[in-house]
Chains A and B, each alone.
Chain A
Amino acid sequence: MNFSEPDPMVPQPYKVRQIWQETHDTFSLDLEPKGPSLHSEFAPGQFNMLYAFGVGEVPISISACSKNGDGWIHTIRDVGTVTHALHQLREGDTIGLRGPFGSAWPIDESKGSDVVIMAGGIGLAPLRPALYALMESRKNFGDIALLYGARKPEDLLYTDEFESWRGKYGVQVRVTVDNADRTWSGNVGVVTTMIPRVNFDPLQTVAMICGPEIMMRYAVLELRQNGVSEENIYVTMERNMKCAVGFCGHCQFGPAFICKDGPVFRYDRVKPLFSLREV
């Protein structure tokens, strides 16, 4: 027991350094701590609980560290009451933040391997810091592939970064959408169809997947068929979450608490429940 530690249930004040639109329904918040001694360390894959004053709190994964390292960027889709309230924030506003919480993508464990990252929609947000970490020590990894799918071209996130990921870091970026009009010259189809189009050695590959459960299910299936072992596939799970510290019971997924045992799980550890409904 550490008495000097702040109560994990009480948010700390953070200032909105910047807010910007990412897509038609998705925006990013750059938050800086208002207290002097607050740290900004986090592991890619972790999330914060963001509190919109008087409205409520939501778990949002960290999509990047702030430029100067003193804070975090969160990419949020405006879908519910709280995310809508967060969307209304302006630079200089104060919000509450608790975190970071949860497990991380296996960056160190992937050293010496090829890495296949598969993201669906806003699922790219928690994977972006993983990509940054891989690119930061690029020589430690083999082939890196990002397979990214979204419903429509206008739903694609971080498109202005793709060129640098490709050119500067040699990441194989493959993008696909479910539906598009004739102005779209890219791929159409589900993200799993991209797997044969990138180079990786299935026996030496770590896969990191984040997206809707159905997308992850097919992604796992396809990767397995290509020979990637279950122990080298990582997925993220999502459930209702209130406390983020294992007290409230909401985020249970079988024996796991998504908040403290997840959100990132090694596939073989959640496999028995992965295809069951209503767990």
Chain B
Amino acid sequence: MNAPVLIDTIGLGQLIKLLQKKGYQVMGPTVRDEAIVYDTLDSINDLPQGWTDEQEAGHYRIKKRDDNAYFGYVVGPHSWKKYLHPPRRRLWRAEQKDGEVDIIPESAESTRFAFLGVRSCELHAITIQDEVFIKGPHVDNDYRLRRENALIIAVNCTQSAPTCFCVSMNTGPKAESGYDLVLTEILENNIHHFLVQAGSEKGLELLGELDPRPAKESDISKAEKGIEQAAQQMSRSMKTDGIKELLFENLEHPRWDEVAERCLSCANCTMVCPTCFCSTVEDVTDITGDHAERWQRWDSCFTMDFSYLHGGSVRSSTKSRYRQWMTHKLASWIDQFGSSGCVGCGRCVTWCPVGIDITEEVRAIENAGSKTSTPSQGGKE
């Protein structure tokens, strides 16, 4: 919708200030607890400048880069869903008085978030959760409001982690839509720039206040080269053609038993997944018994409780829970919401304590017949 422009690191700092001035709470990547997580940014100094992440199945470390890149990492354990679909939220309160019950809905969240550093796979993840919470017959008003108020500043990936497979999922590495602004970091011979393009009126307006300079053809090609590099680096892949039929036809494949022997049913994959949306509710009362509340919190299909039905769990084995998660993510999601539930961000691979790799599991079922396979690293080609 407009020509790309260039800002420098001062411009990036100004962008954060400008957003704050406009009343946004700016959320973005920062180093905490030896990981790059998303949190409130006070200034450009909170960004993980000079840091990168090292990822493999069951492995995550941050380490120093030999340059000063601000966005020289891939993705960490957090995703933006923690702001749009919070891990814990009160739904309503109820008061009991003289036999009467008064139910008071929680007022919907009105914080205006600006997300800085949204990766292409994450833009897709947000769109996927939109399908769940606002595009169906019922609307989650709290989500809708948070979503509508949010400003999204995407940052193109110029490197990928060995756990990434967005190219297979058609979700990256280049941000194509769904952002207000998109940045590509260009770092060359100590010259530090960001190629910026607006994706919405709001983004265009912001750009106007930043005083950027026009980008040259060479800047654009440098940015493109960076994104191309991220795609080239990608070593994991997943075949998505006919994946729904493949999984539905193999619900009793012996591979489910094999993966269940390794799976700890810990729910890490569902917590770090940017699209997993399941939740449960907790009803609580105070000591007088007259005040009650209902809280919603993230839940996982890996817990026993999840499928509890009068007297027992429907999915009592780890096998059935892993199968539920993976077939939902890659197959039934397509029937439910019109797309895969996987964006290829690789978080579930990285944060699995035993290194179970979803791409490897798909491949194992695909190669039906060969029932033996070696775990670890198998997802790499």
Q: Chain A interface (Cβ within 8 Å of chain B)? A: 1-3, 7-13, 53-57, 79-80, 92-96, 238-240, 242-243, 245-250, 252, 254-255, 257, 260, 272-273, 276-279
Contacts and interface: CB of A to CB of B under 8 A. Distances in A.
A94 B100 contact: yes
B140 A247 contact: yes
Given A7-B105, A10-B92, A255 B134 contact: no
B18 interface: no
B138 A242 contact: no
B210 interface: no
Contacts of A246: 132, 136-138
A54 B335 contact: no
Contacts of A245: 136-138
Contact of B99 (A11, A93, A277): A93
B308 A252 contact: no
Contacts of A9: 91-92, 140, 296
B94 to A, nearest CB: 6
Interface in B103-142: 103, 105, 132-134, 136-141
A238 B314 CA distance: 10
B307 A250 contact: yes
B345 to A, nearest CB: 19
Contacts of A247: 132-133, 138, 140, 277, 279
19 contacts: A1-B144, A3-B141, A9-B91, A10-B92, A53-B292, A57-B294, A93-B99, A242-B279, A246-B138, A247-B138, A247-B277, A248-B279, A248-B280, A249-B277, A250-B307, A254-B248, A260-B137, A276-B252, A277-B320
Interface residues of B, number: 56
Interface in B308-352: 308-310, 314-317, 319-320, 323-324, 327-328, 331-332, 335-336
Given A10-B105, A242-B279, A1 B314 contact: no
List 3 A-B pairs, minimum CB-CB distance, nearest first.
Answer: A249-B278, A278-B320, A255-B335
A57 B283 contact: yes
B299 interface: yes
Contact of A13 (B101, B280, B289): B101
A242 B307 CA distance: 11
A240 B328 CA distance: 16
A79 B96 CA distance: 25
Given A56-B283, A240-B308, A252 B105 contact: no
Contacts of B308: 240
B251 interface: yes
Nearest to B311: A79
Contacts of B328: 252
Nearest to B308: A240
Given A94-B99, A247-B279, A279-B251, 17 more contacts: A2-B139, A8-B138, A10-B103, A53-B94, A238-B309, A242-B279, A242-B281, A246-B136, A246-B137, A247-B133, A247-B277, A249-B278, A249-B299, A255-B335, A260-B138, A278-B323, A279-B320
B279 A243 contact: yes
A13 to B, nearest CB: 6
B91 A272 contact: no
B306 interface: yes
Contacts of A92: 99
A249 B301 contact: yes
Nearest to B320: A278
B324 A252 contact: yes
A40 to B, nearest CB: 19
